[in-house]
Amino acid sequence: MNTTTILIIIAAFFGGSFLLMIPFAIFYSKKKKRVERYKADNADKAILHIYGGSVMVDGRQISDVEHIKGNELECLVPLSGGKHIIEAKYEITDLHLGKNVTFKTPKAISSEIEFVAGCEYTISIYFYSPKERRAYYKGDVGEDVYTQELGISVAASGYDKAYIICYKES
């Protein structure tokens, strides 16, 4: 093979890769716009991003509650202001000492949380407390409005606690 042939092969590879990326970029762009439109249409409600599975809101399955999938495959649920019970199974994966460590809550965790209409919230599981996360991110985290500490046992993980935390976005 001569240099020209090699350059043509390389150009074809990168050109083909670029062309394959276009549909994914268009899909993500449309999804992002759909999520922003959904949040704007529900601006008079609290928007909750739920990063979990087997979700229930106020005793109703997620399939029976108005929601959409967000940009990160989380559930976006518009809620009226006031107290709501969120129930979900949570999962977290972290890199610890060069190994992926995964923890799943064995059963759904129920959380009663007060929401303010017009605000955005995120609920998920973390290996670090709100105080530790605030220090690590130099204060650049939302206000924690709900925290539930879980005692865990993940072999060789170095973690003995996990936290269900709901943040009010700033």
> What does the alpha-carbon distance between residue 117 and residue 82 come to, in Å, rounded to a whole number?
8
Strands in 109-115's sheet, in edge-to-edge order, are 60-61, 53-57, 82-89, 109-115
Average pLDDT score over the chain? 86
- Cα angle 47-145-51, degrees, rounded to a multiple of 5: 50
Beta partners for residue 113, in sequence order: 84
Q: Per-residue confidence at 25, pLDDT binned at 50, 70, 90?
A: low
What local confidence, expressed as pLDDT, does residue 92 receive? 83
**Structure token digits, residue 107:** 């059963």
Per residue in 108-159, pLDDT (tens digit) is: 999 999 999 999 999 999 888 999 999 998 888 899 999 999 877 655 566 7
pTM confidence score: 0.81
Q: Judging by beta carbons within 10 Å of its beta carbon (0-12, 13-18, 19+), is residue 14 exposed, middle or buried?
A: exposed
Could you tell me which residue, 99 or 168, shows the higher pLDDT? 168
DSSP 74-110: PEEEEE-SEEEEEEEE-EEEEEETTEEEEEE-SSPEE
